[in-house]
Amino acid sequence: MAEKNKTIGILTSGGDCPGLNAAIRGVAKPAVEIYGMKVIGFSNGFQGLMEGNGRELKHDDLSGILTLGGTILGTSRESFKKLRKSPDKIQKMLDTYDKFDLDCLVILGGNGTHKTANLLSEKGLNIIGLPKTIDNDLYGTDLTFGFHSAVDIATEIIDRIHSTAQSHGRVMVIEFMGHDAGWLTLYAGIAGGADVILIPELPYSVERVIEKLRERQDEGKIFSIIAVAEGAMTIDESKMTKKDYKSYYESLPYPSMGYKVAAEIASKAAFEIRVTVPGYQQRGGQPSPYDRILATKFGTYAAQMISRDEYGKMVAISGNVLTAIPLSEIAGKLKLVPKNHRLINAGRLLNTSFGQPRQAD
């Protein structure tokens, strides 16, 4: 008897990023056109899976989406902490999987999403994860798609601010996304030639930042660029418990981290300072060619995995080689910037300040 053609589900979950559509296309086009599978796209992440809100994706849905930003499926955030304690919600997802007679579910997401992906895998579903996020903080993979597009955008923002900083002789603080990780700020900061780079992994001293600004003034440089990650913290703050720091930070009068850093500098030195917070621009628009390629590699690799019934894993890239890591090995782990990362060392050799105490910088 001929084997039944597979039916696979696909959804995008968590914050969006450039490259999601390229990855959907990478999985679904070969699935439909090469392997003869049926592909069901679920709307708005796990919400759509709970509600059974899925529709078949055909050739026309998958055509012309390679270069599109966002996600054609829609996305939503679903707290893993809450979900874990909601057996009804989990049951609804299992029921949808059965109702659509799925052989596998492909989940495109970041850290939180992969915890849920692992939970569903533990419940017996055939799951494949694809790593997306502009934060690049997913454990088990060197890169996530979306990251390099965001680096391009963030670098362009630094480049543009350079010229206006120079015209006015100002200190420009630019705040970048990244949650608890400094990857985006580090890469864009180095690519844009920021004078100071502040990332969560290297807690800073305001005094050292000011020293760097004064050093530049003494050299006749009339402006400075500070790239600050939204999760940056001072040395003293880094000694607080996570809970204490959260309530302390929320009690501060600043709209976001860039304003806090600017106020800390202004309280101790007389520079003319301006703050820029590019925000969601960093997640929007077309994926860069790099991300189109990475997402396409990840997606097509996933399609091949489905064809050979290889499940319970997240597709990853390690040393430029595509691979797949068991979800149980990556779920709940963060990939932060190592303190001795080569770009940090490169920055130090170029006299970039990381706001570190003297012996470390």
As annotated, the active-site residues are 135
Check binding of 78 to ligand F6P (CB under 6 A). Answer: no
Q: How far apart are CA 260 and CA 52, in angstroms?
A: 44
Check binding of 278 to ligand F6P (CB under 6 A). Answer: no
User: Smallest distance, Å, CB 18 to ligand F6P?
Assistant: 12
Q: How far apart are the first and last CA of the chain?
A: 68
User: Smallest distance, Å, CB 30 to ligand F6P?
Assistant: 28
The residue nearest ligand F6P at its CB is 177
Would you say how long the chain is, in residues? 361
Check binding of 291 to ligand F6P (CB under 6 A). Answer: no
> For residues 81 and 358, which CB has a smaller minimum distance to ligand F6P in the complex?
81
Cβ(40)–Cβ(54) below 8 Å:
yes
> Which amino acid, 266?
A
Cβ(318)–Cβ(151) below 8 Å:
no
Check binding of 70 to ligand F6P (CB under 6 A). Answer: no
> For residues 61 and 230, which CB has a smaller minimum distance to ligand F6P in the complex?
230
> For residues 269 and 336, which CB has a smaller minimum distance to ligand F6P in the complex?
336
Check binding of 208 to ligand F6P (CB under 6 A). Answer: no
Residues in binding contact with ligand F6P, number by CB under 6 A: 11
127-186 residues in contact with ligand F6P (CB under 6 A) are 133-135, 177-179
Q: Per DSSP, which regions of the chain are E strands?
A: 7-12, 38-42, 54-56, 104-109, 127-131, 171-176, 196-198, 224-229, 273-276, 313-318, 321-326
Check binding of 344 to ligand F6P (CB under 6 A). Answer: no
* Percentage helix, strand, coil for the chain under 3-state DSSP, each rounded to 5: 45, 15, 40
Check binding of 292 to ligand F6P (CB under 6 A). Answer: no
Check binding of 325 to ligand F6P (CB under 6 A). Answer: no
Check binding of 77 to ligand F6P (CB under 6 A). Answer: yes
Check binding of 110 to ligand F6P (CB under 6 A). Answer: yes
Cβ(318)–Cβ(141) below 8 Å:
yes
> For residues 105 and 229, which CB has a smaller minimum distance to ligand F6P in the complex?
229
Cβ(144)–Cβ(151) below 8 Å:
no
**CB contact set of 186 (below 8 Å; sequence gap of 6+):** 197, 199, 229, 337, 341, 343, 344, 347
Q: Which of 6, 114, 260, 283 binds ligand F6P (CB under 6 A)?
A: 283
8-47 mask for ligand F6P (x: CB under 6 A)?
A: -------x--------------------------------
Strand partners, 41: 10, 55
228-267 residues in contact with ligand F6P (CB under 6 A) are 230
**CB contact set of 37 (below 8 Å; sequence gap of 6+):** 5, 6, 7, 8, 31, 306
> For residues 26 and 110, which CB has a smaller minimum distance to ligand F6P in the complex?
110
> For residues 79 and 345, which CB has a smaller minimum distance to ligand F6P in the complex?
79
| CB atoms closer than 10 angstroms to residue 35 | 14
Contacting residues toward ligand F6P, per CB under 6 A: 15, 77, 110, 133-135, 177-179, 230, 283
